[in-house]
Amino acid sequence: MNLVVDQIAILQQQVDTAPILSIKKIPQSGSERSYYRIQTSTNNYIATHGENIRENETFLYFARHFINGNLAVPEIYAQNDACSIYIQEDFGDTSLLNVLEQEGFSERAFMLYTKSLSYLAAMQVQGHEHLDYSKALTSASFGKEAILADLLYFKYYFVDALRRPYDKQKLLQDFEVLSTFLSHTPHRYFMFRDFQSRNILVTKNDDCKFIDFQGGMQGAPQYDVASLLWQAKANLPDHWKSALLENYLDAFESEINETINRDNFKTQYNGYVLIRMLQVLGAYGFRGLFERKAHFLTSIPFALQNLKSFLASNNLGITLPEFDAILQRCISDEVIQQFTNIKATADTKLHVTINSFSYLKNGYPADATANGGGFVFDCRGILNPGRKDEYKKQSGEDKAVIDYLESETKMTDFLTSVYNVIDISVEDYITRDFESLMINFGCTGGQHRSVYAANAVARHLKNKYGVKLEVNHLNKENWKQ
């Protein structure tokens, strides 16, 4: 990692000769790329490091093409010869989803959605002009084959994982009909492919900027609008979806300088809403049911409720009997309940105690309840921030240490495994009216790794189950020594 930072620092000198104050890795989400925030005495920048050179080249080509058209993407300032590192404009950390989560369905959030859709229309139309799609990760347009691929993704990673019988041949025949129907939509625009509120950053002056568009391809404009307005995590109200769609169509017509048949557009749009929802369910199924990642498992009920809401008020106007039967099964109470977490109520007896401790100074915490003990997880296999001078007098509750553990260590992987283990007991204890469970995290000094892990598990259990919690950091009096 130090080699990457050194290379970033050298490249940064081509951009800005001002002294570099810090280069800090930004915690990753699902991407294979690594991001670093460069702070100089005059400005901030984002450095990206990735070993997928083809993907880097696509992003850089798209970004420069869009910048030439004054579209809402980051400026590219420099790249190294290997095209494994590039430096771009820093728009900050606030996404459109962050605004929605903080403010709810406010006037400002609606304005930002409207602005984002207007900028999207410009990217779809102007960005398409003179774009060399041979530079894209896939030069094919999002037509029949791509639609079929998304449908099959849903089939293999979600429908088949339910392990319920259906007529596979009839379902494939329905997929063929649906993909043919949707492929009649004009595919002569740039399609972002993952246009959702996490990929829209809100600047300090309430402008909107787009990131992570390297998966773009030639396709239908409806797909991106469907992706944003029907994002399960955002859960926009129906009147917002309707009003925002009309606002988008106004912007789109202005970009192409002609009036379109809005009824035809909306019919095709509904089809792409469905395709996008099923693609997301396939992704959640793959990440959650096959890779056993807890975050994606907990997202499945939201996606199913989103699909149920859509199907209740929209009809594609074509006959797809086996496909329709599969969809109705997916949104049944039985299947939704299968993925819905057990939740604690006011009558739930379970009380969870979470401790951080030092193996050297405290030893294993004693359990004073009748349960006689619980889980003990050893965090000493995680890289120790306490060995670095700048973190010695900080703890796992300080932002710098949190950032270090999330970006420089395997703490996230460790906790994913912890969640998978403890969730079994928590759900069982809630169901069986058990009264207590203790979960302990130990490290060398009880100051950094164990503290972070204890707090992270407390958040996880509160958000997922709503159980009564108590968190104790048993070595806290020694943190500043």
Q: What ranges do the domains of the chain cover?
A: 2-89, 96-339, 351-478
pLDDT in tens, 282-327: 999 998 888 777 778 888 999 999 999 999 988 888 899 999 999 9
Domain 2-89 CATH class label: alpha beta
pLDDT in tens, 125-147: 999 999 999 999 987 788 889 89
The tokens describing 144, both together, are 């029949």
Distance of CA 100 to the CA centre of its chain: 15
20-29, 336-345, 434-443, 455-464: lowest mean pLDDT where?
20-29
Helix (H), strand (E), coil (C) string for 129-191 = CCCCHHHCCCCCCCCHHHHHHHHHHHHHHHHHHHCCCCCHHHHHHHHHHHHHHHCCCCCCEEE
What's the whole-model pTM score?
0.78
Rounded mean pLDDT, 211-218: 94
Beta strands in 409-457 (DSSP E): 436-443
Rounded mean pLDDT, 387-395: 92
Task: For domain 96-339, give the fold.
Answer: Aminoglycoside 3'-phosphotransferase; Chain: A, domain 2 (3.90.1200)
Q: How many CA atoms lie within 13 A of 448 on its CB side?
A: 25
